[in-house]
Homo-oligomer: A and B are copies of this chain.
Amino acid sequence: MESLRTAADAPRERILAAAATLFYRHGINATGIGELVEVAGVSKRTLYQQFASKDDLVAAYLQRATQSGRLLDRRLEQPELTPRERLLALFDPPPPTFRGCPLHNASVELTEPGHPGRAVIVAYKRRFQERVTEQARAAGARDPEALGRRLSVLFEGATALATSLDDRDAAFDHARPLARAVIEEALPTDG
């Protein structure tokens, strides 16, 4: 889809790019429409032509985030690594701009039960666990589902604790030895 971008798409893309920066850096509820249109360089009218409401923009921002390749989960697809190395790579130190998982952060902020962003978050987190399980299976895990569940909740802990402690490295340093032990125990020694 990205390669088919046309001039008519540009305002929508600019709005989503502004949302990706402002929602992640400052939070969703702390970011007003006025700030979004200023950073995107569009009018409010244009924004509401593209998105029926802020809620719809938030859902589109979340959907885009899951496809952006900027999440740490891209480590699960690094072609130069073995499946075992990909599972370990999840727990490598995050980049300096890291401020937790944008999907999780949104789940903290979007407290209305019917918010259209909530389904995007839940689907993403379930799919993430499946992807970890797929790598666990490819690595030869005896019980790939169990390893997928364990590494998913541990990864959520590392990313959330990075925000709580305001210290990326400490959180991932806490999680890494346990992740390594869990992976070693679950995989055949020649894996």
A interface residues (Cβ-Cβ under 8 A, vs B): 25-27, 29-30, 99-101, 103-105, 107-109, 111, 118, 121-122, 125-126, 146, 149-150, 152-161, 163-167, 171, 174-175, 177-178, 182
Check B125–A111 contact: CB distance below 8 A. no
A51 to chain B, nearest CB (A): 19
Q: How far is the CA of A122 from the CA of B163 in the complex (A)?
A: 9
Partner of A164, one of B25, B103, B163, B174: B103
25 contacts between A and B (CB under 8 A): A29-B109, A30-B109, A30-B111, A99-B111, A103-B164, A107-B164, A108-B108, A121-B164, A122-B164, A122-B166, A126-B165, A149-B174, A150-B174, A150-B178, A152-B174, A153-B171, A153-B175, A153-B178, A154-B157, A154-B178, A156-B156, A156-B164, A156-B171, A157-B157, A159-B160
A105 surroundings in chain B (CB, below 8 A): 108
A153 surroundings in chain B (CB, below 8 A): 154, 157-158, 161, 171, 174-175, 178
A161 surroundings in chain B (CB, below 8 A): 125, 152-153, 156
A25 surroundings in chain B (CB, below 8 A): 111
